[in-house]
Amino acid sequence: MSTALRGTWPALALFAFAALFPLFVRDAFFLDGLILILLWGSVASAWNVAGGYAGQVSLGHSIFFGLGAYSAALLGTKWNVSPWIALVVGAALATVMGVVIGFLSNRLRGPYFVLATIAFSQVFLIVGSRWRGFTSGSEGIPVPFRPGFWTLGLVDKRIWAYLMLALAVGVYLIQLYLERSRRGYQLAAVREDEDAALSLGVPARRLKVAAIAVSAALTAMCGTLWAQYVGFVDPFYVFSVDLSVRFALAAVTGGIGTALGPFLGAALITVLETYLRARFGGIGAGLVGIYLIIYGVALILIMRFTPEGLVPWLGRLRRRPAASPAS
């Protein structure tokens, strides 16, 4: 038991805090912040499964998020289907798409893979915004609000917070599995040196495709919940490159290939964004874009000074005083 939990205390503390928070805080503004941090942390973690653990850095993950979101919106409006079923449908569609993309771009590495994923997401953006008969085109679709848990029409933000917490813990556990299991080690081997991994009999191609598929399914589930929470699906948002960058940004800021990193990154980004929105909202609404300038500059600085992200950096800071007397 103690070995299974080793190194996870910061995450346990974070999730415990998130679990206790809604018990004491009823303020809608802060609950909304918590929900968004857990949601964006979960999406970033889902991205991390492919981008961090498998080394398949994608800037097209908004495809999967959008598939999840559109599943909720279209199934809800057209056939009156429960979002819980849309969750499964979206995840299944995203898995298929993940396998297709993973399989087609299997040979590609580095910038080539990034370019391919951007191209795929642009195709989805165009289809989502132009196929007016099915997706309502660029107008977007409002997600119907039907009260009840089965229809996910929840007014109480506390229930949303616990739903997102369950999602976050689930995605965190999947990442932990990738850090500690045999399959996870194989994946790390593929990421570090694919040719060497292949020569040792690691099924590199299958593992990469599987990682993208799992990552896609998780991203789609986040997309469904997001659409249900926010209540509106806009193709220019859910299929945009900006959104994909946002997922990657949280993971990269917090620590690419670490289980806690995406949550830390998402927390930082969401707090900064919310603060600036509150500060400059209304008259100076244009200034809200400042947070994106700060992101961009922060990303450049992180890449410059601690490219592995904040979690490994904090880990080093903590270990350094302990290590110095020994040496």
Partner 1 sequence: MHVIPQLVVSTLLLGGIYALIAVGLTLIFGVMRVVNFAHGEFLMLAMYLAFWCFALLRLDPYVTLVLSLPLIFGAGWLSYRLVMRPVIHASHNVQVFTTVGLSIALQNLALVLWTADAHFIRTPYYAVVVRLGGAAFNLAQTVAFVIAVLATAALFAFLRWSYTGKIMRATAQDRQAAALMGIDTGRVYSLTWAVGVTCVGVAGVLLAPVYPVYPTAGLQFVLIAYVAVVLGGLGDMAGALIASLIVATVEVVGSYLIGTAWKEVLYLLLFIAILVVRPAGLFGQRGAEAIGT
The residues of the shown chain that bind partner 1, judged by CB under 8 A, are 55, 57, 59, 104-105, 107-112, 114-116, 118-120, 122-123, 126-127, 130, 241, 245, 248, 252, 256, 286-287, 289-290, 292-293, 295-300, 303-304, 307
Cβ within 8 Å of residue 294, ≥6 positions away = 272
Return the structure tokens found at 288: 């809200």
CB of 203 or CB of 296, closer to partner 1: 296
Rank residues 126 and 271 by Cβ distance to partner 1 and give the closer one: 126
Residues paired with residue 153 on neighbouring β-strands, in sequence order: 147, 148
Q: What is the DSSP letter of 308?
A: T
Give, as one character, the DSSP assignment of residue 154. Answer: -
The residue among 201 and 286 lying less far from partner 1, judged by its C-beta, is: 286
Picking from 233, 58, 222, 220, the residue whose alpha carbon sits closest to that of residue 142 is: 233
| Alpha carbon of residue 94 to chain centroid | 14
Residues 262/44, Cβ–Cβ less than 8 Å: yes
CB of 20 to partner 1, least distance (A): 35
The minimum distance between CB 12 and partner 1, in angstroms, equals 29
> Is the Cβ of residue 50 or residue 163 nearer to partner 1 in the bound state?
50
Say which amino acid occupies 192.
Answer: E
Nearest to partner 1 of 256, 311 (CB atom): 256
Closest to partner 1 by CB, 16 vs 104, is 104
Smallest separation (angstroms) from partner 1 to the CB of 314:
19
Confirm if 42 and 251 have CB atoms less than 8 A apart: no
Answer yes or no: are the C-beta atoms of 44 and 253 closer than 8 Å: no
Tell the smallest beta-carbon distance from residue 127 to partner 1 (Å). Answer: 7
Count of other CB atoms within 10 angstroms of residue 317: 9
Residue with smaller CB distance to partner 1, 281 or 289? 289
We find the least distance from the C-beta atom of residue 248 to partner 1, in angstroms, to be: 7
C-alpha–C-alpha distance, residues 259 and 173, integer Å:
8
Q: Kindly state the tokens that stand for 230.
A: 């926010």
HSE toward the beta carbon, residue 100, CA cutoff 13 A? 9
Judge contact between 248 and 121, C-beta under 8 A: no
| Cβ nearer to partner 1, comparing 203 with 307 | 307
Instruction: Please give the DSSP secondary-structure letter assigned to residue 148.
Output: B
- Provide, rounded to whole angstroms, the least separation between the CB of residue 41 and partner 1: 19
What residues does 33 pair with on adjacent strands? none
Question: What minimum distance in Å lies between the beta carbon of 221 and partner 1?
Answer: 25
Looking at 204-320, which runs of residues are DSSP E strands? 232-233
In the complex, the smallest distance separating the C-beta of residue 23 from partner 1, rounded to whole angstroms, is 37
Task: For partner 1, give the closer residue by CB, 281 or 307.
Answer: 307
Q: Categorise residue 257: left if φ over 0, alpha if ψ from -120 to 50, beta otherwise.
A: left
* Those residues with Cβ within 8 angstroms of residue 11's Cβ, 6 or more apart along the chain or in another chain: 172, 259, 260, 263
Task: Please report how close the Cβ of residue 306 comes to partner 1 at its closest, in angstroms.
Answer: 11
